[in-house]
Amino acid sequence: MHTTGPTSRHPRRRTLLKAAGAAALTVPALTKVASAAGQDDTGLWDVIVIGAGFAGITAARELRARGKRVLVLEARDRIGGRTWTDTYGGQLIERGGTWVEPTQPHVGAELTRYSLALEEDEPISTTWLPTPSGPRQFTPEDGFGRIGLIFDRMFEGSRTYFEKPFQPLYRADLLRSLDKLSLRDRLTQLSLTPEEELLVNGQTAVYAGGSSATGAFTMFAHWWALAGHTNQGWNDTMRWRIAGGTKALLQAMINEARPTIKLSSPVSAVYDTGSVVYVTTTSGVRYGALAVVVAMPVNALSTVKFTPSLPPALTTATSQGLAVPNAVKLWIHARKGAGRVYGQGAEGGSPIPMLLPFKETADGMLYVAFSTDPRFNPTDVAQVQQAVRQLGVNLDVIGVKVHDWGRDPYARGGWTFRKPGQLTTLYPDVTFTSGRLSFASGDIANGWSGYIDGAIESGLRAARQAAGEE
């Protein structure tokens, strides 16, 4: 989720964007699958990809382009994983990942490749931000400008310690000590006034999954660096959506590559014999391949039995978790009246610490909001209305559409947000390959971890690994 409000609106760039079960060693019977055009359906696949999110679909496309016979096994009855284009109030909505930035290199390349356009969110008219005397209205320029000045101080030096943001450990010498800091540690170092602290701690807390104490300072600083080390760049990360939704890009990739995709096929075991890898689903169906790309969320890797076991960095990553465990995205349908208002709460305040306007509907207006509070019931309209009021925003709520990514068995978390120490202790080993087994996930990207761009980046890398190119 990438939600600091789209801020002071700078020159429009629409024109730039147009183009844009551990089995015995004996070989088990293999299951045949009706295959896409151009692929035969013999039992042994070149590559099996586990997971049909952006990472898995990217890997599948790349491997098909290398002439491989590819089977994608997906647990859900839909593709997309933590992206999910749906409808509400007559509008196309995203229940997971949404905003992309055309300067994100992998997303940008895909938009150009498939001539997909972007849609820009309409500007925000008012921001409600917390102050020591309660929520206060600011103009977007003033409110986001104040936040930006604090972020400038918070991430001072990022051009040095994240000199090459796509090589996150390029300055490991500097990052080792910084990576020990939580966001809370960094806020404390800055000796902020109470006013300043309140302007940013709701954001740092929500990105970290509910508490600034659990999120790594280097995670936010990495995003800041990837966004060009500026508040403007950072705010631009939640400004553009893919026209037709994230599914439009996924579908374009699938249309090009036509991998065989089997939905409703949760994998329970991956067994690498040393020559063939067997993949078994929870219903006991077994497939074999010369290589496997595991493109599941890292938090969910612990649900699969790997033989031999996962490499140590991934074992640690899945047990500690990389994606935040509490991550609810809400679509709030309200009667017209409040307008294009942005609300942000203080850490530990409203169970909805962030609210953004989306689009008008026939009888109201849609807002998108996030919650990381496990005690909050986001499906209860009265609770939602009360939580939004705590931000200072008065919405007359008609209904809500909610997805709880933390409780989703095939995600087990929302957006990635590393904990202190995880960057320098888990990287680069989380991008391990044995040749037969490779791992793709937006959770373990070198660049935009926690973003669609990172998922695509990881899929490209895992495909090269599975093809024996690195």
What residues line the site for ligand FAD (CB under 6 A)? 1-2, 50-56, 73-76, 81-83, 96-100, 266-267, 295-297, 300, 303-304, 327, 329, 405, 410-411, 414-415, 441-442, 450-455
Nearer to ligand FAD, 198 or 317 (CB): 317
Nearer to ligand FAD, 138 or 207 (CB): 207
Nearer to ligand FAD, 265 or 350 (CB): 265
| Cα–Cα distance measured from residue 189 to residue 99, given in angstroms and rounded to the nearest whole number | 31
Return the DSSP state at 343.
Answer: E
Q: Minimum distance from CB of 403 to ligand FAD (Å)?
A: 7
Beta strands 341-344; 126-131: pairing state: parallel
Distance of CA 239 to CAs 89, 123, 148, 358, Å?
A: 21, 9, 16, 11
DSSP state string for 80-115: -TT--EEEETTEEEESS--EE-TTSHHHHHHHHHTT
Q: Minimum distance from CB of 89 to ligand FAD (Å)?
A: 19
| Residue the block writes with tokens 């409000």 | 5
Nearer to ligand FAD, 93 or 150 (CB): 93
Q: Minimum distance from CB of 404 to ligand FAD (Å)?
A: 10
Nearer to ligand FAD, 250 or 467 (CB): 250
Q: Minimum distance from CB of 95 to ligand FAD (Å)?
A: 7
Beta strands 354-360; 134-138: pairing state: unpaired
Q: Minimum distance from CB of 180 to ligand FAD (Å)?
A: 25
Q: Minimum distance from CB of 83 to ligand FAD (Å)?
A: 5
Neighbours of 465 (CB within 10 A): 23
Nearer to ligand FAD, 75 or 178 (CB): 75
- Partnered with residue 241 across adjacent β-strands are 99, 119
Q: Please, what's the b/e burial string for 57-80 (b: 16 or more CB within 10 A of its CB; e: otherwise)?
A: bbbbbbbbeeebbbbbbbbbeebb
Is the separation of the CB atoms in 96 and 53 below 8 Å? no
Nearer to ligand FAD, 138 or 342 (CB): 342
DSSP state string for 7-21: -S--S--HHHHS---
Q: Where would I find the beta strands (DSSP E) of 83-217?
A: 85-88, 91-94, 99-100, 118-120, 126-131, 134-138
Return the DSSP state at 310.
Answer: P
Q: Minimum distance from CB of 98 to ligand FAD (Å)?
A: 4
Nearer to ligand FAD, 178 or 205 (CB): 205
Q: Minimum distance from CB of 72 to ligand FAD (Å)?
A: 9
Backbone angles phi, psi at 342, to 5 degrees: -110, 135
Nearer to ligand FAD, 266 or 420 (CB): 266
Q: Minimum distance from CB of 198 to ligand FAD (Å)?
A: 24
Distance of CA 327 to CAs 61, 261, 299, 383, Å?
A: 29, 28, 13, 17
Preceding omega of 308 cis (within 30 degrees of 0) = yes
| Residue the block writes with tokens 């087990």 | 412
